[in-house]
Structure 1
């Protein structure tokens, strides 16, 4: 690695096929430099870039392992990153609530579910590492004060119910308590601080970072760039690139600016780019996941997403042109998103399908009231009223409801093989709650390649880049083609904790 000139490394990204010259939301891409002769503005023990699940968990775990001077940097004005607005869903095997509810689960079972969703290219070693430590990460959230609903959910692609959800139905129910814990234990936090590149030692090791202060996202940059030395190392927890339209279109031309996105605006990928420049291996960049539970009637993640995730196991998704089901409502995300995208008219225009739930069952989720209040969902007193409102063939819809209710009664879905465990006793009957479904870009499975120590692999040497660790959505290859819902929080937190342990050498 020491024999490779950094300028040569910067050319590396041009050969990736990922829009090397693509315009970013930010005005300029970061550029790393050799540290020789650099004047250090500050020297700290540990640098963490990013304040989402991964960065927060890393900071807490590093402190627990003896670190005294941790500095966490966030480029936006608020802390929590994209994690703060995610669904707040946390999957883990062998949890206390599973034992209470009599759910039999194991690390092997969770890993096998994820491998099936990953279509044969997921990293079993990383999945097993995360699943094996997921309960530890869950406990960290509880210790910090996170609160969860007193029931488990079974999300699409999971063979059993293993998912906790925060009582506020979003990731802030975890990021805010973790951030408060960081402040309590003395982690130094800096917002409006943009990563501008690595500072690299004579042997290719990461010895520090350049950080721009007083950064205002999307505006001219008035702040000063500081050279910060990291004595133990740097943890990159900068998230995905779902808001970088040029980069995602380079992987999938259909993911244009017209396609909705659930992510926060800062999910633009500069940290990932710069690790590529340094020599990190790009992995699975083309695997970009769309959330099949999203609504075309609201922006971002919205209220419908968590409403749908909760209700899909005991609901019926139908085509508006036929009134018939077209998918297993709790298949993995890719299977469902692909099926939803096929709902179009004869001219190819989208005809978002409907998710139909009995109101008495849907209202068990706190978002139901908001979905109806803000006109992104509807309540109907009869099937005739529902069919008329959306122009659905009444005869076809009535026949489908009767057929589906038969599956609820027998516990066997002969149409699509849906697991009917969570649908037991929950018939589709009036009054109904209805929302429209249409996928939104949600998660990037691709990023830099890491190992089970959260070390970043170096494409030039085949070894790990010294002093550099990464955790969370900025990493790639873990989930394969399709990530199962509620598996991102445990991944981010476990790998953040792992990075801290590796860095602290424990």
Structure 2
């Protein structure tokens, strides 16, 4: 009771800022059912859509996806559209050697010793299957691979529209084609439990409008085979994230959709799920303070980091490996301060010759969140950077491009080969934004939610994606969220229908 009251208190506190109403589970005994489904999927992002498609392919019927917001796709629709997988056709075409073991090793290093190796390995071994699902549904990717921070080899695909909508939209169409029932503006309100504490059904509020918690009509839905919770993280629940990390106040930006408030996760805790790694909340080191949300700069930066330098405006010098893991870079950026200790966002400097290759480059310049300079002198004057050290830094870095060895920070220079820093330059400012919650409910490699008292699965309760915790440890590598979401969503469907 003490644990449940504490968790209930956390949820009530979170409501003060993010205004999610506290869902309340209750016994199913005596409930009058309004509807019955075989599989209920809460959330319509990567995990939920992949789960529905896989369930239908395995012969499942009467499957319904419940989405609380007005549009489908959730936070997945506005993410970067970056998908990491080993042993892919593009790697074979480019002559890149990779394997699930190598991908897992990269992730374990970023996880700082507390990542879940079994789940990471399961995802890496099935990532190509998930990628193929997106291709079969009609997703389109750039014809080249990217090497994101912390990855030892290039293994990342990116959608041609440079956002997750390039995946969620084709998957959504596939769901409709397969006959999956889709319900938007339908908010999860709690579980309906059998006498043993297993899930027998769910409560939902249809006709829901975000922020108007008492609107719409409450329905009780009986679930025959299982509930898959795929509601994402809680990055927009400011009080809850501050309870884990007090520095993540409302002044800290966020890349997530407004619906990422975590009610379903909290309700799983209430019915016995294990909270894991709640304090590990990741900030994206590629974000810009000059635009809201994920914006245009994020994808631009991710693409250009391998052949760019990030410099401290006060010194004109580099201060980090531009493709280190996210936490390493975010921490380094947050240390850039002026004489009074106020944030002094560092600069990412790229040759225009290279930066213009990315599809968002034109928009970065068009909307004034990036700048183009014809000389290093003009760049230094605009941002108040000391000229002589900056010139020396650029010359020194170009030497690293030539030799392939970064003597300052040990950056992997493979993707920078032949890409010298030379005028004209494009520049963006960098400052981290809250992006991903490593914490959530504990699951096993079968996507079953585990009970905190028994360590065994809670009957008919499954979860996939960012709502789960423990998979990535301290820091998640970029482009590893989509394969995790999709593989574990597919896994949940396979487990249910096994």
Contact 2:20 2:263 in 1 (8 A): no
Q: Gapped runs of 5+ residues in structure 2?
A: none
Please identify, of 202-211 and 377-386, the stretch whose mean Cα deviation from structure 2 is larger: 202-211
Could you tell me how far 1:220 is from its partner in structure 2? 4.6
Q: Distance in 2 between matches of 1:499 and 1:333?
A: 28
Could you tell me how far 1:237 is from its partner in structure 2? 0.3
Q: Gapped runs of 5+ residues in structure 1?
A: 1-7
CA deviations 1:87-141 (Å, max 9, x no partner) are: 0000000000000000000000000000000000000000000000000000000
CA deviations 1:216-260 (Å, max 9, x no partner) are: 001253211100001001000010000000000001000000000
Q: Does 2:253 align with 1:246?
A: no
Q: Distance in 2 between matches of 1:108 and 1:13?
A: 39
Q: What residue in structure 2 maps to residue 125 of structure 1?
A: 118
Q: What residue in structure 2 maps to residue 463 of structure 1?
A: 456
Q: Does 2:139 align with 1:141?
A: no
Could you tell me how far 1:16 is from its partner in structure 2? 5.3
Q: TM-score, normalised by structure 2?
A: 0.99
SS of the equivalent of 2:10 reads: coil
Q: Distance in 2 between matches of 1:489 and 1:256?
A: 27
Structure 1's 147 and 379: CA in aligned 2 closer, same or farther, altered over 3 A? same
Could you tell me how far 1:12 is from its partner in structure 2? 2.6
Q: What residue in structure 1 maps to residue 190 of structure 2?
A: 197
Instruction: Choose the corresponding residue for 2:168, options 170, 175, 197.
Output: 175
Could you tell me how far 1:26 is from its partner in structure 2? 3.5
Instruction: Choose the corresponding residue for 1:52, options 38, 41, 45.
Output: 45
Q: What residue in structure 1 maps to residue 3 of structure 2?
A: 12
Query: Where does 1:338-417 land on structure 2 (aligned, <5 Å)?
Result: 338-417=331-410
Contact 2:228 2:463 in 1 (8 A): yes
SS of the equivalent of 1:232 reads: strand
Q: What residue in structure 2 maps to residue 5 of structure 1?
A: none
Structure 1's 411 and 248: CA in aligned 2 closer, same or farther, altered over 3 A? same
CA deviations 1:49-89 (Å, max 9, x no partner) are: 00000000000000011111100000000000000000000
RMSD (CA atoms): 1.0
Q: Does 2:156 align with 1:163?
A: yes
Contact 2:201 2:221 in 1 (8 A): yes
Q: Distance in 1 between matches of 2:248 and 2:433?
A: 9
SS of the equivalent of 2:12 reads: coil
Q: What residue in structure 1 maps to residue 31 of structure 2?
A: 38
Contact 1:18 1:251 in 2 (8 A): no
Q: Distance in 1 between matches of 2:123 and 2:330?
A: 26
Query: Where does 1:426-465 land on structure 2 (aligned, <5 Å)?
Result: 426-465=419-458
CA deviations 1:182-210 (Å, max 9, x no partner) are: 00100000000000000001121101100
Query: Where does 1:66-81 land on structure 2 (aligned, <5 Å)?
Result: 66-81=59-74
Aligned residue-pair number: 496
Q: Distance in 1 between matches of 2:9 and 2:281?
A: 13
SS of the equivalent of 1:122 reads: coil
Q: What residue in structure 2 maps to residue 4 of structure 1?
A: none
